[in-house]
């Protein structure tokens, strides 16, 4: 496995890589969810490159950029064992050569103004910009993203379509702990007592999923029920919303939905979502 520190190194590796190439973009501090992305890439591509870059452009002024965990040595060991062929681990100057921000950014309209986008101004512009840069640098056949960050996945799919990029965006199902908590690098912010309460977020989503699958369509009541359950468990609900699979407003005649939620718990802001497929006629 090769470690690539510069854009020049990456382009040289890409020029020599034969067959199909899969890209797994990450911010490091890897866990089993990230390694599931690597496994999916490994299963469908001849070569796999993983990027590790804590992107300053997607952090707000009061967010955890400085304290975000950076564990490059451990990440490298995990990726070698997982079968990655290369790791692109640039510094900020490689991605933003004109400083910590960039004069050219990518904004995806519409679906970035809701949910996490309405709570974190500029976040998805930062995500869209760095992903566009990585796709341009690597030129992968496929790029792999976790469904836990479902709004992010939707934004990336839209930008690839809108910018006519020749890459397939692959969503990989969320990896969870045994009690349902979605894996996240920010879970390590949780204290022991907070960790016990954290699965309430997934439980509220599953309850809503079951009720939608059974035919309930009072979306406002279901959302209120979800918020109440999360708050009752000692979390602070940020949002709990029912959307279409494309993140549009839901309709009562739909049979497919995506339920998305975010909540604060101690230092952590947890996000999660579930897909709902109801039988026709429900």
pLDDT digit string, tens, across residues 198-249:
999 999 999 999 999 999 999 999 999 999 999 999 999 999 999 999 999 9
31 classed as catalytic: no
Structure token digits, residue 17? 């890589």
Task: Order across the sheet with 256-265: list the strands.
Answer: 236-243, 256-265, 268-277
Kindly calculate the radius of gyration of the chain based on its CA atoms and give it in whole angstroms: 19
Residues 155-206 pLDDT 10s: 999 999 999 999 999 999 999 999 999 999 999 999 999 999 999 999 999 9
- Predicted TM-score (pTM) of the model is 0.94
Where would I find the beta strands (DSSP E) of the chain?
Answer: 2-4, 21-26, 47-52, 86-88, 142-146, 168-172, 236-243, 256-265, 268-277
Could you tell me the domains of the chain?
Answer: 2-172 (3.40.50.620), 185-275 (3.30.1300.10)
Token couple for 156: 């990336």
- With contact defined as beta carbons under 8 Å apart, do 45 and 141 qualify? yes
Q: Find the catalytic residue in 31, 34, 98, 123.
A: 34
């Amino acid at each position: 496995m090769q470690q690539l520190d510069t854009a020049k190194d990456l382009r040289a590796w890409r020029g020599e890589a034969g067959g199909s190439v899969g890209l797994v973009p990450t911010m490091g501090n890897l866990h089993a969810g990230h390694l599931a992305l690597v496994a999916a890439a490994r299963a469908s591509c001849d070569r796999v490159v993983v990027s590790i870059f804590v992107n300053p452009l997607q952090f707000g002024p009061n967010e955890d950029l400085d304290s975000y965990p950076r564990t490059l040595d451990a990440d490298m060991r995990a990726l070698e064992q997982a079968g990655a062929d290369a790791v692109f681990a640039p510094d900020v100057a490689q991605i933003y050569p004109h400083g910590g921000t960039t004069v050219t950014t990518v904004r995806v309209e519409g679906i970035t103004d809701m949910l996490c986008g309405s709570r974190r101004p500029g976040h998805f512009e930062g995500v869209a910009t760095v992903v566009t840069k990585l796709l341009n640098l690597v030129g992968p056949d496929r790029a792999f993203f976790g469904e836990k960050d479902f709004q992010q996945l939707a934004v990336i799919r839209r930008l690839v379509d809108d910018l006519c990029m020749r890459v397939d965006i692959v969503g990989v199902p969320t990896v969870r702990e045994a009690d349902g908590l979605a894996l996240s690098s920010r879970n390590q912010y949780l204290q022991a007592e907070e960790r016990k309460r954290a699965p309430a977020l997934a439980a509220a989503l599953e309850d809503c999923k079951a009720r939608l699958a059974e035919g309930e369509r009072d979306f406002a009541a279901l959302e209120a029920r979800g918020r109440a359950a999360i708050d009752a468990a000692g979390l602070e609900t940020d949002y709990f919303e029912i959307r279409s699979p494309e993140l549009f407003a839901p309709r009562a005649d739909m049979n497919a939905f995506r339920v998305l939620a975010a909540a604060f718990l101690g230092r952590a802001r947890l996000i999660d979502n579930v897909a709902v497929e109801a039988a026709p006629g429900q």
